[in-house]
């Protein structure tokens, strides 16, 4: 029997009514980027507790340097853990500045260095360019750990939406190349599986901010082909990987009104089945991007607090926690 009540969390019902139903396409993407050119260039946020700087680091072989936006707590002395953060945007839009507030909070509240990657975007730069940019930034973070005052054994990776998908892919790529090893992966409603685009049982009535049409366009742009086919390149689609063993421990959070809900929970179950620790948080009545769109809502604050706490546990483990984990 279909529910007769509003599917959205009480804190999110007003926003759910107001969010426009826009499907990404080539024309829409062109308009979005055109309008973005007329917006004032984001200024470096003024925060007495956190220093924000842009640096350019060596890019992938034959590619341009990668801009990385760093957030450093001013009051912290000595080496600190670090987080490589990857912004969302369906693989087709976005920049580090969109997450300034969040990254400043991570740096200030956790006392860590945060580095946010300005990776190249599809469709102009399809896979593997965005992922390779993220990998270049991760290698730089490890290589310069001493100069940056970072503890290399406590470097986490994380991202939201497409940034979460890139985070999962980055964890897999780093595992296979065996050059660097992140300590943790933070997956915030990640975009993990192109095969979701082929589902015919999704009516989209409770989806906001990212719908099935946008999902098809995003994956098509990133893969450079129609999504959901029999084969995709290795590391392009995290959920397609058969063997998930040996990956870093994870935290995954998603709302049950999010288009990615089913693919996210399936990936989390597969991580757990492969012996990878993965904590899961499902927020009833939450749509995609709710923690940013409705930033001041109680349910949004609670969700951000949950993934901040997961980062804290991973980067500042209690004495004996590592030994206990190995024994388990």
Active-site residue (options: 11, 258, 264, 291): 258
Active-site residue (options: 9, 207, 235, 288): 288
Nearest in space to 204 (alpha carbons), one of 5, 7, 42, 64: 7
282 CB-near residues (< 8 Å, 6+ apart): 253, 254, 255, 256, 261, 265
Nearest in space to 270 (alpha carbons), one of 280, 259, 260: 280
Place of tokens 């593997």: 128
Place of tokens 């740096």: 107
Place of tokens 């990133």: 222
288 labelled catalytic:
yes
Angle at the Cα of 101 from the Cα atoms of 13 and 24, rounded to 5 degrees: 55
User: Are the C-beta atoms of residues 151 and 82 closer than 8 Å to each other?
Assistant: yes
Nearest in space to 69 (alpha carbons), one of 16, 29, 118: 118
User: Are the C-beta atoms of residues 156 and 81 closer than 8 Å to each other?
Assistant: yes
258 labelled catalytic:
yes
161 labelled catalytic:
yes
User: Are the C-beta atoms of residues 167 and 248 closer than 8 Å to each other?
Assistant: no
- In Å, how far from its chain's centre is CA 83? 12
Active-site residue (options: 9, 99, 118, 161): 161
Catalytic residues: 161, 258, 288
């Amino acid at each position: 029997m279909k529910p007769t009540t509003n599917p959205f969390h009480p804190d999110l019902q007003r926003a759910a009514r107001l969010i426009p139903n826009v499907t990404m396409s080539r024309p829409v993407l062109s308009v979005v980027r055109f309008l973005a050119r007329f917006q004032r260039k984001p200024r470096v946020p003024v925060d007495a507790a956190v220093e924000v700087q842009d640096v350019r680091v060596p890019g992938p072989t034959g590619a341009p340097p990668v801009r990385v936006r760093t957030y450093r707590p001013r009051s912290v002395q000595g080496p600190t853990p670090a987080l490589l953060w990857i912004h969302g945007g369906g693989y087709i839009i976005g920049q580090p500045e969109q997450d300034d507030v969040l990254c400043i909070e991570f740096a200030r509240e956790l006392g860590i260095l945060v580095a946010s990657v300005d990776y190249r975007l599809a469709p102009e730069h399809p896979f593997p360019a965005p992922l390779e940019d993220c990998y270049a930034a991760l290698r730089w973070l490890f290589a310069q750990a001493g100069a940056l005052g970072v503890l290399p054994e406590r470097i986490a990776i994380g991202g939201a939406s497409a940034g979460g998908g890139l985070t999962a892919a980055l964890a897999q790529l780093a595992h296979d190349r065996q050059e660097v090893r992140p300590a943790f992966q933070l997956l915030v409603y990640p975009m993990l599986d192109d095969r979701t685009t082929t589902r015919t049982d999704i009516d989209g009535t409770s989806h906001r901010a990212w719908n099935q049409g946008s999902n098809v366009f995003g994956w098509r742009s990133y893969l450079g082909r129609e999504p959901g086919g029999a084969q995709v390149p290795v590391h392009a689609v995290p959920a397609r990987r058969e063997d998930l063993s040996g990956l870093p421990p994870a935290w995954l959070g998603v709302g049950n009104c999010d288009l990615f809900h089913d693919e996210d929970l399936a990936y989390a179950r597969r991580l757990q089945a492969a012996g990878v620790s993965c904590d899961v948080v499902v927020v009833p009545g939450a749509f995609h991007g709710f923690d940013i769109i409705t930033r001041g809502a109680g349910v949004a604050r609670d969700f951000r607090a949950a993934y901040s706490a997961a980062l804290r546990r991973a980067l500042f483990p209690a004495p004996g926690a590592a030994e206990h984990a190995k024994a388990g």
